[in-house]
Structure 1
Amino acid sequence: MNVEYAQPKQAVTEKAQARPGKWKVFYNKLKKNKLAMAGGYVIIFYILVALLAPLLAPHDPYQIDLPNKLKMPSAEHWMGTDDKGRDVLSRVIFGTRLSLSVGFVAVFIGAFFGVILGLLSGYYGKWVDTIIMRIVDVLLAFPGILLALAIVSALGPSLINVMIAVGVFSIPMFARIVRGSTLAVKKLEYIDAIRSLGASDMRIIFVHIFPNILSPIIVQASLRLATAILSAAGLSFLGLGAQPPLPEWGAMLSNGRDFLFTAPYLAMFPGIAISSLVLGFNVFGDGLRDALDPRMKQ
């Protein structure tokens, strides 16, 4: 008897051990998307550049050297110098810190408030849902960049205010997505079972519903990072974001537009940095969406 039951039990154990974990399955699906992996490598590259900026920058990005202004790219200055003699490569490297900081902070603001509003709206419904969604509809009625312009104009031009403005116009997107996911999850049987056991609403929302709707939040955050970085660069280009002498990519583009014919590299290199980072987040976000979607069987 013992021998007869030992073999099936051992077979089941070996099968369970051979079954890959959720994270491994997710990574294997993501790895098959070559474009998404390339986007991930671009993101990792820029994050490393931001972390190692003091070690990678060959010159002080704030050091003015007027005798060497508007020098073409050379062995000493790989990306040339600007109209004040500052090394463009060093400013692009340090600008990576600012652009990533703006993107992550703005998306965190939008996700934090958007997730809370979406959870409350989807779970409670009725008048709570009506009030929250009407506020969200008002925010969605304004194009994102125009809403950000209005907020920055009211608060004043600064990098911090840009983070707040971009974060505010990101709230409706997260709120809509989280509300829809919450409406679907709260109808499941296990939620009714937990409620019947006496669990509080806050416990049900944040312990049992929220972990099960993380996938669309992560995907939206990765895609929203690209929009946040691009929007922040646009506001800085208009003079409403980073103020001189901060080496922010949008501000560098704004400064370089006055020298498009005499020193085109001043606008070209920050533009390449913005385009490549935004493209990296976009393609990586698309890959995350496909890898986290259970309907996408590969």
Structure 2
Amino acid sequence: MDALSWPAILAAMTLQLLPVWVALGLVFTVSRIYRRHLGLYGRLFDSPIGMTGFAIVMFWVFTAIFSPLIITHDPLAQLSGMKNALPGSALKSGADTLFPHYLLGGDALARDVFSRMVMGARDVLAIAPAATAFAFMVGITLGLPAGYIGGRLDTVLSFVSNLVLAFPVILLFYLLVTPEIQNTGPLIAGWRASIPNVMAAVLFGFPILFFCILWNSRFFTDPRRRNIYIGITLALGLWVYAGLAFNADPTGIWAMEPNLLNVFVSVVFVNAPTVFRIVRGLTMDLKSRDYVAAGQTRGEGPWYIMLWEILPNARGPLIVDFCLRIGYTTILLGTLGFFGLGVSPESPDWGSTINAGRRLLSVFPHPAVVPAIALMSLVLGLNLLADGLREESLKD
């Protein structure tokens, strides 16, 4: 069988990505119809830069979601005769596979570069947004009272934040992500009290705390509704918390591999102080506004004012920073993978794939260039999306 030409390669990839195109079309069509009811997201359609970024980001999101349908080969499978195969190369006779070509070639271990790129998107997008969201919950939960209440609380929290930020990030990640660190610490009732596990036990509790405070402040005058919301939050939150922090979920739904846990906790730990400082600064600026004084006059509690008066009015900068921070986290994950830290070595993570392909970069560039372009495009999309959101949020 003959190798594919570049037009044929592009046509085949376009066909493989058909679920992504359909999903993008549905999202844009529905969003366009109801844009006037979608707030900041609806106004994003007025920003060409923002919509370009949104399209790129959603392309990779849907690629990650539909990755099992898109890949042409097992990303870990090594097929005979396909080592460093050029893009469009036909499989050798006798290969037991439904797709007869390596669309973007093979790597040094004869694995399909296209399939590894697609599955790598799932690995990145499974960690970066979730870890960033956790970091935001930690930063918001601590930053709001630090900025609003001030005093000794602000002094202590700011000192701890500055202490973490003063530590070299790369060295900190080397210390936290090294697999050997998972085996340190005493064994307590079958649970290893290693540094990452202890950090997970602390940091993963913040989302539960955040939502409990949120519901309590919002429905303080309606105890029945408040108790229902807090009860649901505790039931679901503690279930997830037990699985992620202590690997104690009996159903096995909420569990995280040790290497992945190290990466996740490290990302949250590094990003949370920066989010804390942003939230603290915004709170110190907004707490002198008239609507805050009006809430105080009505007799609203501090947490109600912080969560339902100050935080909504700080959403613009926070949403923009959230998008940018996902991009930073994506680069950080790629850097960790490049250095061989974090996820398992055989993982199709973009960073580790780039590292594996760089050794023969001058001879066979495609194994490293393809994931590098994927990583660059996702970060570019997030940055453009953040720019568009910033433009539209300034119009509020």
TM-score bracket relative to the smaller structure: 0.7 to 0.9
Alpha-carbon distance in 2 for matches of 1:87, 1:101:
21
Match of 1:173 among 274, 293, 307: 274
Compare 237-246 and 192-201 and name the one that shifted more: 192-201
Cα deviations by residue, 1:127-172 (Å, 9 ceiling, x for unpaired): 0111111111112223433433332237458233122212211112
1:109–1:164 contact (8 Å) kept in structure 2: no
Alpha-carbon distance in 1 for matches of 2:259, 2:384:
30
Alpha-carbon distance in 2 for matches of 1:224, 1:109:
12
Compare 38-47 and 101-110 and name the one that shifted more: 101-110
**Which amino acid letter does the alignment assign opposite residue 163 of structure 2?**
V
Q: Does 1:74 align with 2:88?
A: yes
Which residue in the other structure is 2:241 paired with? none
**Which amino acid letter does the alignment assign opposite residue 197 of structure 1?**
R
Q: 1:235 to 1:24 in 2, by over 3 A?
A: closer
Match of 2:376 among 275, 280, 291: 275
Cα deviations by residue, 1:51-106 (Å, 9 ceiling, x for unpaired): 11011111111222233222111161111112222211011101100111221122
Calculate the TM-score normalised by the size of structure 2: 0.65
1:155–1:161 contact (8 Å) kept in structure 2: no
1:111–1:174 contact (8 Å) kept in structure 2: yes
Which residue in the other structure is 1:207 paired with? 308
Calculate the TM-score normalised by the size of structure 1: 0.85
Which residue in the other structure is 1:101 paired with? 126
Q: Does 1:138 align with 2:138?
A: no
**Which amino acid letter does the alignment assign opposite residue 49 of structure 2?**
L
2:338–2:355 contact (8 Å) kept in structure 1: yes
Measured after TM superposition, the shift of residue 234 of structure 1 is 0.3
Match of 2:74 among 46, 55, 60: 60
Q: 1:26 to 1:48 in 2, by over 3 A?
A: closer
Q: Does 1:291 align with 2:305?
A: no
Alpha-carbon distance in 1 for matches of 2:369, 2:41:
37
Compare 159-168 and 41-50 and name the one that shifted more: 159-168
Counterpart of 1:170 in 2: which secondary structure?
helix
Alpha-carbon distance in 1 for matches of 2:173, 2:110:
33
Compare 149-158 and 186-195 and name the one that shifted more: 149-158
**Which amino acid letter does the alignment assign opposite residue 224 of structure 1?**
R
Which residue in the other structure is 2:59 paired with? 45
Which residue in the other structure is 1:83 paired with? 108
Measured after TM superposition, the shift of residue 262 of structure 1 is 3.1
2:63–2:121 contact (8 Å) kept in structure 1: yes
Alpha-carbon distance in 2 for matches of 1:231, 1:94:
18
Q: Does 1:147 align with 2:161?
A: no
**Which amino acid letter does the alignment assign opposite residue 121 of structure 1?**
A
2:40–2:389 contact (8 Å) kept in structure 1: no
Which residue in the other structure is 2:291 paired with? 190
Compare 251-260 and 189-198 and name the one that shifted more: 189-198
Aligned residues, how many? 275
Measured after TM superposition, the shift of residue 200 of structure 1 is 2.2
**Which amino acid letter does the alignment assign opposite residue 162 of structure 2?**
D
Measured after TM superposition, the shift of residue 265 of structure 1 is 0.7
Q: 1:83 to 1:26 in 2, by over 3 A?
A: closer
Counterpart of 2:124 in 1: which secondary structure?
helix
Q: Percent identity?
A: 33
**Which amino acid letter does the alignment assign opposite residue 226 of structure 1?**
G
1:69–1:82 contact (8 Å) kept in structure 2: yes
Alpha-carbon distance in 2 for matches of 1:139, 1:241:
20
Which residue in the other structure is 1:244 paired with? 345
**Which amino acid letter does the alignment assign opposite residue 378 of structure 2?**
L
Alpha-carbon distance in 2 for matches of 1:25, 1:267:
37
Q: 1:81 to 1:155 in 2, by over 3 A?
A: same
Q: Does 1:35 align with 2:136?
A: no
Gaps of 5+ in 2: 1-34, 90-100, 183-257
Alpha-carbon distance in 1 for matches of 2:386, 2:354:
26
Counterpart of 1:83 in 2: which secondary structure?
coil
Which residue in the other structure is 1:227 paired with? 328
Q: 1:58 to 1:285 in 2, by over 3 A?
A: same
Q: 1:33 to 1:190 in 2, by over 3 A?
A: closer
